[in-house]
Structure 1
Amino acid sequence: MASSLTSLRETADLRHLRQIIAGLDEGVILIDPDQTLLWANDAALKMHGVSALEELGHDVDDYRRRFQLRYRNNRRVAADDYPIERVVAGDSFSEVVVEVTVAGEEEPRWVHQVRSLVLNDRDEDAPTCVVLVIQDVTAQYEAEDRFEQSFNANPAPAVICRLSDLRFVKVNDGFLEMTGFARDHVLSRTVYDIDVLRDADRRDLAKARLAEGTTIPQMEARLDLAEGGNKLVIVAGQPIELNDQPCMLFTFADLEPRRQAEEALRHSEERFTRTFQMAPVAMAIGARDGHLLCEINASFTQLTGYAASAIIGRSLSEVGLWAGKDTGREIERAIEEGNGLRGHEAGIATREGGHIDCLVSTEAFTLNGDECLLWAFQDITQRKATELELVEAIEAVMKDTSWFSRSIMDKLARLRAPMPDERGASLDDLTPREREVLALICRGLDDKSIARALGVSGNTVRNHVARIYAKIGVNRRTAAAAWARARGFDGERLLAEANA
């Protein structure tokens, strides 16, 4: 052995060998069978953070003291399992991966992938030199660590299967939480044991892409759950390499919340539709923009005479529903300005040419994702007719009050007008002449009779009446008389004083 050592050191073989391996990207350490470190190329020195062979160590024991090794599972490498020990012992190995820590430090600096090589003399079986070949795979494993951390921390459910046998090799917490499976249960199954493509809308395409190892586009599928049943998901596949093996990364989006929301929305819209059709109030639904009708209920047809086929797809103005053009323009302008209607009084024309007085209300809402407008029409024709008849009856009675008792007149006056508001107009706001005119109005006299009684022209009386209306806030004679009687003024004493 000593002669081999002397021969190798003294001949040109070592120099030639050093020249050959000096420029290699891989690190190479030459070790004498007596465990002395003979030489290392620049790549090997750099992979240990040193610049000279002496800093690697004089021999194998010195190397162990300077550098501590751990396996990737964080287990310390025993002294006799160091790759440099094993190669000297004659072991042949390849792709041993270790983490290298400088003595005195806590965290590893590098990750080395190591293999062995033994050089024998031509004439002897005993090795003349053993070689440690090192690759720095730190960047690769750092990238894998980052991927591992990102994969596990990603809240989006994901699994990775190996393409060679379609078995799952990685699964993240998001997938386990969504399905309820245990990690070991998933990692012992294939893609079709836990079928990630069940009921996929393009299952045949997905299977073909999986066999080819190419991208699987997004598609809806159903994913089995640990406790039975399944849930609706969107699944997609992306080919990746993991530990130098071709794999497929499956990612999932849980559609169950969306499905439940859509189901709830559908039920809500169905209830709205039933309520809309059964409502006793005439109602219509139109587009928010353009006011084109898309639905009417039976009460609308009963009120207006328009069937759905005659009005849907047209606006209310186009149909001629409004009794006057100004009415339609006023309503549409208010809606376009973003002002909803609440009990807006308007006249509408029926299909047969009739006239109906209505209170119109609108409400903006969303239906099937579209901005819509709900119209409601309350028929007040009969109510207005009744009010008009009552007013006319009161006016007729008050034209001759001589036989009507004062108490009944006062009750009618209170029905017609509210109790006096201290903040409103009072009798003191009227001039003496206006009080005289008001007194004659209370006695039921018309403008001509008042003019004769006061000895003035009819125009003068009309001017006085207009000023009285403006001051007390009324617009007809019966209302003025009711206002006066509500304040205890009938004008008889005033007229008596005037005649005296």
Structure 2
Amino acid sequence: MSQDVLSTETSRRQLQQIITGLSDGVILLELDETIVWANDAALAMHGVERIGELGADAKEYARRFALRYRNNHPVPVANYPISRVARGETFSDVLVELTPTHDEARTWVHRVRSLVVTDNHGEPASLVLIMDDVTDWASAEQRFEKTFAANPAPAVICRLSDLRYIKVNPGFLEMTGYARDQVIGHSTYELDVLDQAENKDLAKQRLREGATIPQMQAELRMADGGSKQVIVAGQPLEFNDEPCMLFSFVDMEPRHKAEIALRQSEERFAKAFRLTPVPILVCSAADQVVLDVNEAFLDTLAYPREEVLGKTIAEIDFIHDRGAKTALFMALENSASLDRVDVRVRKKDAELIDCAVSADTVNIQDSPCYLLVLMDITERKRTELELVAAIEEVMKDASWFSRTLIEKLANVKNVNSPQLPSVSYTDLTAREREVLELICEGLADKEIAARLKLAPNTVRNHVATVYSKLDLHSRGEAIVWARERGLFSSAGRSRGQR
């Protein structure tokens, strides 16, 4: 064996001993592309245990392992790192995804560089592939890429070394109208996202230092020459092993429009609330504390504002019947709204007025509140009482009156009054209903007693019970009450038309 060959073999053994324990993967090739040696790290990075499983040479290696670029395009066999080093090329930082052709479920990402070892005469003696397993890094980078692209918040990343933008997400392009090539590769001097920042000097200083830029308002230039109000912030990060700055933005225009719309809505409500001639009160739903009243409320009930605002409904005590007040708010709590419920309201001077209360639940500053509208129906009530009195006079001697005329008198109020539910009618017994029906026919107690074959005292007791259950006080009121609810109308007409 010649001295040169011996020297070469000795050097190769020494080289192998040196690199065996390295964490980098190393593959040695002869000049004829034969794979002669690989360390344990290189075998592990290919998912094999013996050098023969890598393939005898570069061509067999290419059949056993499929390589793809990071953009998912296949690497042509001629461009495999092992093929390029076999041609004597030197290169560094080539990123490839490697997948065994017999096990496509397994994939590694390698960062590969080459080395050509020369002999004493400067001629190539051995070819070396050196690789790092950067699978975890690539996976993290891929997750970042997906997250960055999917993030709806507009964002760009600029490299601190030259202040050029290296990444932009769809949110930024959509917000500004720029195309990707109008951002990527351009510098912050060409597209200055901090140009109109409210604290521009601080932001620029933090950018130079690679430090966090706090949130601040800014005016961002758009692709069409216009501008948009935004909130901008900067966060330093490492990307591709380079210090960078991530700029993120919040488009203030939708919020600004929403604020204007809300303010206009509040102004319209406030104006309508203030100018409406009908008394209106707003109280919290939780504790019934009065939050606001309009001028009509103060004028109608003769209260000064300071004696109403901040007080509870119970403290003001303007609803005359406490039972009606309790029932009103219980119904409002259950159904969220009410329509024209009759209540008696007490003014500050103790004068009572009749009101129809309508109410609804509204949200004010995210808190449920009750809006109460009070319609003064005192005059209407007075008219109804006059009608009842007139009917009472008629019923004192109804024997010569046409039954049709009596029914018309009793039903006059139905023209302008809503039909009311006959809930209380169900509280009457069958006998009490018979008595009420005969009252509506115009029969006196003695006539009812004869018709039902009852003692007069028994009839009087039934009449009193009917009045008590229905909160009535006279025959006239009973007739009006029944006609309002559409009771006995057909029966009354058939009996009355004699």
TM-score, normalised to structure 2's length? 0.74
Query: Matches of 2:258 and 2:55 in 1, distance apart?
Result: 69
Contact preservation (8 Å) 2:116, 2:125? no
Match of 2:462 in 1: 467
SS in structure 2 at match of 1:187: coil
Query: Matches of 1:287 and 1:486 in 2, distance apart?
Result: 48
1:309/1:26 Cα in 2 relative to 1: closer, same or farther (>3 Å)? same
Q: Identify which of 155, 163, 184 aligns with 2:181.
A: 184
Moved more, 44-53 or 296-305: 44-53
What is the Cα deviation at residue 342 of structure 1? 2.7
Match of 2:421 in 1: none
Query: Matches of 1:85 and 1:465 in 2, distance apart?
Result: 118
Query: Matches of 1:429 and 1:382 in 2, distance apart?
Result: 31
Query: Matches of 2:446 and 2:65 in 1, distance apart?
Result: 120
SS in structure 2 at match of 1:343: strand
Contact preservation (8 Å) 1:414, 1:486? no
Query: Matches of 1:141 and 1:353 in 2, distance apart?
Result: 82
Query: Matches of 1:91 and 1:481 in 2, distance apart?
Result: 112
Match of 1:16 in 2: 14
Query: Matches of 1:470 and 1:463 in 2, distance apart?
Result: 11
Contact preservation (8 Å) 2:234, 2:248? yes
What is the Cα deviation at residue 254 of structure 1? 4.5
Q: Does residue 6 in structure 1 map to residue 1 in structure 2?
A: no
> Which consecutive residues of structure 2, in runs of 5 or more, have no partner in the other structure?
415-429, 450-454, 483-487
What is the Cα deviation at residue 152 of structure 1? 3.1
The count of residues paired between Structure 1 and Structure 2 equals 458
Matches within 5 A, 1:174-253: 174-191=171-188, 193-197=190-194, 206-216=203-213, 221-253=218-250
1:47/1:204 Cα in 2 relative to 1: closer, same or farther (>3 Å)? same
Query: Matches of 2:97 and 2:388 in 1, distance apart?
Result: 103
Query: Matches of 1:381 and 1:163 in 2, distance apart?
Result: 79
Question: What's the RMSD between the two structures over aligned residues?
Answer: 4.5
1:228/1:368 Cα in 2 relative to 1: closer, same or farther (>3 Å)? farther
Query: Matches of 2:62 and 2:479 in 1, distance apart?
Result: 119
Residue type at the aligned position of 2:446:
V
Contact preservation (8 Å) 1:304, 1:350? yes
Query: Matches of 2:462 and 2:176 in 1, distance apart?
Result: 83
Residue deviations 1:401-450 (CA, integer Å, cap 9, x gap): 89xx746x96355312589xxx97489979xxx8673499xxxxxxxxxx
TM-score, normalised to structure 1's length? 0.73
Contact preservation (8 Å) 1:118, 1:130? yes
1:360/1:102 Cα in 2 relative to 1: closer, same or farther (>3 Å)? closer
Query: Matches of 2:436 and 2:360 in 1, distance apart?
Result: 45
Q: Does residue 283 in structure 1 map to residue 280 in structure 2?
A: yes
Match of 1:41 in 2: 39
Q: Identify which of 408, 412, 416 aligns with 1:414.
A: 408
Query: Matches of 2:257 and 2:21 in 1, distance apart?
Result: 65
Percent identity over the alignment is: 42
Residue deviations 1:31-57 (CA, integer Å, cap 9, x gap): 556766554323234444554445556
SS in structure 2 at match of 1:24: coil
What is the Cα deviation at residue 273 of structure 1? 1.9
Contact preservation (8 Å) 1:361, 1:376? yes
1:172/1:411 Cα in 2 relative to 1: closer, same or farther (>3 Å)? same
SS in structure 2 at match of 1:25: coil
Moved more, 128-137 or 472-481: 472-481
Contact preservation (8 Å) 1:469, 1:480? no
Query: Matches of 2:98 and 2:207 in 1, distance apart?
Result: 39
What is the Cα deviation at residue 392 of structure 1? 3.1
Q: Identify which of 382, 387, 391 aligns with 1:385.
A: 382
Match of 1:94 in 2: 92
Residue type at the aligned position of 2:5:
T
Query: Matches of 2:386 and 2:164 in 1, distance apart?
Result: 89
Residue type at the aligned position of 1:44:
A
Residue type at the aligned position of 1:300:
F
Q: Does residue 342 in structure 1 map to residue 339 in structure 2?
A: yes
What is the Cα deviation at residue 338 of structure 1? 5.3
SS in structure 1 at match of 2:310: coil
Residue deviations 1:323-350 (CA, integer Å, cap 9, x gap): 3444444434444555644322222221
Residue type at the aligned position of 2:182:
H
Q: Identify which of 248, 268, 273 aligns with 2:270.
A: 273
Residue deviations 1:348-396 (CA, integer Å, cap 9, x gap): 2212332211112221111232211111111111222233234334545
Contact preservation (8 Å) 2:389, 2:476? no
Match of 2:320 in 1: 323
Residue type at the aligned position of 1:416:
A
1:54/1:319 Cα in 2 relative to 1: closer, same or farther (>3 Å)? closer
SS in structure 2 at match of 1:342: strand
Residue deviations 1:299-345 (CA, integer Å, cap 9, x gap): 21221112333311112321231234444444344445556443222
Residue deviations 1:173-207 (CA, integer Å, cap 9, x gap): 23323332111011133346444456656666654
Query: Matches of 2:264 and 2:109 in 1, distance apart?
Result: 61
Residue type at the aligned position of 1:42:
D
SS in structure 1 at match of 2:318: coil
Match of 1:437 in 2: 446
Residue type at the aligned position of 2:113:
V
Query: Matches of 2:97 and 2:3 in 1, distance apart?
Result: 34
Moved more, 386-395 or 61-70: 61-70
What is the Cα deviation at residue 291 of structure 1? 1.4
Q: Identify which of 127, 140, 144 aligns with 2:141.
A: 144
What is the Cα deviation at residue 487 of structure 1? 6.2
1:118/1:375 Cα in 2 relative to 1: closer, same or farther (>3 Å)? same
* Rg larger for: 1
Moved more, 43-52 or 58-67: 58-67
Moved more, 156-165 or 233-242: 233-242
SS in structure 2 at match of 1:189: coil
Query: Matches of 2:229 and 2:392 in 1, distance apart?
Result: 74
Query: Matches of 1:335 and 1:76 in 2, distance apart?
Result: 73
Query: Matches of 2:100 and 2:4 in 1, distance apart?
Result: 30
Query: Matches of 2:91 and 2:365 in 1, distance apart?
Result: 68
